[in-house]
Structure 1
Amino acid sequence: MLQGEHILIAELKRGSKDAFDQIYKLYAGKLLAYCVHYTKSREDAEEIVQDVFVSLWNSREAIRQEETLHSLLFTISKHRIINAFRSTINSPVYEDYVDYQNELSAGEDYDWIEYERYVKIVKEAICKLPSTQQRVITLSRFYQLSNKEIAERLSLSEQTVKNQLSLGLKTLRELLAKILVIFVISIILNIVNRWL
């Protein structure tokens, strides 16, 4: 299989669409499952997988021949998941969480208790915001609407949307910074306990 991958990479670097199609067939399902696991959204996961393969095609000439497709594609996917989550919540803590889950995947079942706790913390923090900020952040970060689309949907001016988004995200970051220190410590303790 490894030899076959090196052949596929060589052909892909030469611009072979057949090689690209074979790579897609080999890895799209696995990447989708991986992304759904983290995003909890099939739609978001499908978008990330498509983005991963577009990135693979666009940067095909820069691929090093010694790379494996598995590590390359899953690394790209990991970064896309982190970027997607950051654009939603603007929180670097999720990168630590993905790294933590990658540690667990080496030989143990996934433990989603921490993830569920993290989601709960974020939702509780959003609920503490004024209702307009809650709606603006939800539409902007979860539904990826532009300020103009949010303004039309909520019957607000674009400037009001911009102001509410800025205020809401600032407050959310402050709320999460206070709460997430404990969360990160619990993740670190879990990792240490697993190593012992």
Structure 2
Amino acid sequence: MREIETRLLEQIKKGNEMAFVEVYDKYWKQLFNSGYKRFQKKEIVEGLVQEVFVEMWQKRASLMVHTSLGAYLFTALKYKVINQMKSQMVKEKYVAFVTSRKSNFGSEVEEKIFYKELDEAYKQEIANLPSQAKRVYELKNTEGLSYVEISQEMGISVSTVEKHMIKALKILRQNLRNYCV
């Protein structure tokens, strides 16, 4: 590191705001231009450069610069830009997912109608289950009982409870398969 940068860095570590302003003035435009080449959104790059300087000031007491102050700042900005790009990609994928889901389901009114039909069919299929399978299914899913608690409630073995649950689920899956998207 050059001698001037070393002195500026030492002054910043001690909380000297004027030394910080000097570094800010020297590097802000260079950092902005570098960031803008990679991520061409002015407001976002301005924010990222600002974050680099804010974090530098906040961490000033423990700041460790091994090469040069400029290299430190450019590296910090590079990682901010990379993280921003990753974040942007995640947002874009989410928007694409939501958009594709909407086009698959149609309007909100259609979704409500579909849900109502599904709910009615589900209730009807539960009502049509064989009595033991229906009772096991309701105790498990409505009352939240465990298989052991259901076996005690109904006076049957745990393996019989499992068999009734398997039977109920198989019937429901088969009879509600037309509602799967």
* TM-score normalised by structure 2 residue count: 0.50
Rg larger for = 2
